[in-house]
Structure 1
Amino acid sequence: MTETVAADRTGRAYLAGLNRRGRLEWAVAALLTLLLLRLLWSLVRNENLLLGEVVGHLLHPDVLAGVWLTVRLTALVFAMAAAIGLVVIRMERSGNPLLGGLAAAYVWVFGSIPVLVQLLLWSNIALVFPDITFAIPGVHLDAMRLVTPVYAAIAGLALAMGAYAARALPDDDRLTASGDILVTTLQATSLVSVLSITDLLGVVQALEERNHLIIPLLAVAAIWYLVLVTAARGAIHLARLARVRGQAHSR
């Protein structure tokens, strides 16, 4: 009897604790919501943001062209990075110590050097190798003409993201890992603007130099990246749901 009463009291105390914690969580959530709404309202009312310019440039032809280049660059680099990552994983699991060592060295080097530094190195590769021969007699390629900013961007991003893919893809849920690689690749493409490539950020920076609308145009870039990343994550989520339904039907 005594044990029953003690258990009942413990249960009531536990439920009371949950109720207090729930009320506290609701109070914190309400406060954060109010702060967020206040921030959004201040942005809308802020004349320095020039909201009309933001809306007016969202569908600007140059901005749309930059968005399209960003999408194409993301798709190409993602495909190359995934292929590189799978090859590296195969090398690591081959059981050959030399192949495993080469794979580990690749992941260490290209996974450690910042992507921006890799892009700058590739864009200036002609300063180190003015002639590209591939060790083939009679082959002499002018690196200055061959390695254009676009090719340097593709090489730098693909090798860097390939190292990231090699670390991410061995996870049990490769679909989720692929989604993370896709989003990371999309975000990393913004770095190619340093090579004067007219991706989304590059176009925005070019427009800034002409009309000096720094904050409105950066807001345009931020909105578009939000749209693109949300779309990528949404596509991965739909693919995951389709896989789950397919597995359920096959049982």
Structure 2
Amino acid sequence: MSSTKPNRPAAPQALPEPARAAAIKAIRLRHPGRMVFATLLVLLFVVFILDAAARPAFDWPSVGKYVFDQRISMAAFVTLQLTVYSMVIAIVLGVILAVMRLSPNPVVKSLAWFYLWVFRGTPVYVQLVFWGLISIIYQDISVGIPFTEPWLVFETDAVLSTFALAVIGLALNEAAYLAEIVRAGLLSVDKGQDEAATALGMSWAQTMRRIIIPQAMRVVIPPTGNEVISMLKTTSLVTAVPFSFDLFTRSRDISAETFNVIPMLVVASIWYLFFTSILMVGQYFLEKRFARGVGDRRPDRKADGLTGAATGTVTGLIPTIGGGQATVVLPVPPAAPEAADDPTSPEGGVR
């Protein structure tokens, strides 16, 4: 009995250059509505800038005079100090609270929940007012064993300045929000990562430092960056302590002397925008640093452009080493069922 083997398809061959050019030809869709809308936005922006430049209420000469004034510069530096000190304390305390919230101990978890409930449930301005009145609530600070004679006694006003009270008030409020951010980041890491690290013999500290935290940072950094920017602007509320050397309060004091409020508000806004821009750039690079290896693996755009072309024959590109050109791979058409069963067909054979 004789049999005929089905013809094998020929090896993929490269299309000639004109065919390749025709295969990847694409026509960009036109969106006239988008162009019109974008043009209107640009025109409105230009009109707003020109109108603001011509408004006498802004008093741009006064803005230029006070934007680099020594009092404003020092107040901007104090605002930056408030932001940095408060965020450092808040991050440390937020990590501790996040670990407490994940603890299996119900007492520890309940204490962390109570802290978050209090500081997230009351306005930060009210909290700062309380910290400003702390010397009335606690006239002195005692160090020693409870219910015994104290070893050291300090007056609250002598130990805690208004600057320290402002930092403490801002940090304790911010720690409640950062605790939830850190907790969400830790929960975003798959449990198998922890189990695999334990199987490799890593300790808890090694697992957190090398496995869990680097992966959680990808989730933690974006909202933390937003909280830092929010903290920078929240420092304008420390006048409730009262602390009067921050940027907003100093600009308001100067405007009370000059009876010209709007230019000083513009000056304060310029400094806030300057610091915010720096923080946004730093946040961008931090996100890029910790997001390495994570993201969409998009296929080659040229391959996408060829796939689904009008001819329906091109599937993709295979780079040829040393050839300088790409090889276009043609799909192998599937054999029809009838042809496979027909012995007389070139595609079929005797079984």
Q: Same fold (TM over 0.5)?
A: yes
Tell me the CA shift for residue 88 of structure 1. 0.2
- On the 8 A contact 1:123/1:148 being kept in 2, the answer is no
Give the Å deviation of 1:176. 1.5
- 1:205 is aligned to 2:252: yes
Q: Distance in 2 between matches of 1:160 and 1:86?
A: 14
Number of the residue aligned with 1:12: none
Return the match for 1:82 from 81, 85, 91: 91
Alignment partner, residue 142 of structure 1: 155
**Residue 166 of structure 2 contacts residue 243 of structure 2 at CA under 8 Å; is this kept in 1?**
no
Residue 132 of structure 1: aligned partner: 141
- Alpha-carbon separation, structure 2, partners of 1:83 and 1:162: 8
From 267, 274, 285, the counterpart of 1:220? 267
Mean alpha-carbon deviation: is it higher for 130-139 or for 83-92? 130-139
**Aligned equivalent of 2:74, options 54, 65, 73:** 65
Distance in 1 (alpha carbons) for counterparts of 2:129 and 2:144: 25
Letter in 2 for 1:35: L
Report the alpha carbon displacement of residue 203 of structure 1 after superposing the two structures with TM.
1.4
Q: Which runs of 5+ in 2 are unaligned?
A: 1-28, 186-218, 295-351
Q: Counterparts of 1:228 and 1:168 in 2: how far apart (Å)?
A: 23
Partners of 1:197 and 1:135 in 2: CA distance: 34
Counterpart CA distance in 2 for 1:84 and 1:23 is 53
Q: Percent identity?
A: 25
Q: Distance in 2 between matches of 1:23 and 1:112?
A: 49
Number of equivalent positions: 228
Q: Distance in 1 between matches of 2:75 and 2:184?
A: 33
Say if 1:193 and 1:201, in contact at 8 Å, map to a contact too: no
| Partner in structure 1 of residue 237 of structure 2 | 191
C-alpha distance in structure 1 between counterparts of 2:254 and 2:92, whole Å: 36
Aligned 8 A contact 1:43 1:49 in 2: yes
The two structures have a TM-score, normalised by structure 1, of 0.84
Give how far 1:141 is off: 2.3
1:231 deviation in Å? 0.6
1:235 maps to 2:282: yes
Structure 1 SS opposite 2:252: helix
Amino acid at match of 2:236: S
The one-letter code sitting in structure 2 at the alignment partner of 1:34 is L
* Distance 1:134-1:33 versus aligned 2 partners, 3 A rule: farther
User: How far does the alpha carbon of each residue in 1:106-147 deviate from its partner, in whole angstroms, 9 at most, with x for none?
Assistant: 111111211111111001012222222256432432223333
- Residues 87-114 of structure 1 show CA distances to partners (whole Å, capped at 9, x for unaligned) of 0001011111011001011111111211
- TM-score for both structures, normalised by structure 2: 0.61
Q: Using the alignment, how far apart are the partners of 1:227 and 1:147 within structure 2?
A: 31
Paired letter, 1:105? F
Task: Say whether the 8 Å CA contact 1:169–1:177 is kept in structure 2.
Answer: no
Q: How many angstroms apart in 2 are the aligned matches of 1:208 and 1:117? A: 26
Q: For the residues of structure 1 that align with 2:114 and 2:290, how far apart are their CA atoms?
A: 35
Question: Aligned partner of 1:204: which letter?
Answer: S
2:72/2:247 contact within 8 Å kept = yes
Q: Distance in 1 between matches of 2:252 and 2:261?
A: 8
| Counterpart position of 1:26 | 35
Q: 2:227 aligns with which of 167, 176, 181?
A: 181
Superposed, 1:14-53 pairs within 5 Å as: 22-53=31-62
Partner letter of residue 114 of structure 1?
P
Point out 4+ residue stretches in structure 1 off by more than 6 angstroms. Answer: none
Matched with 2:113 is 104
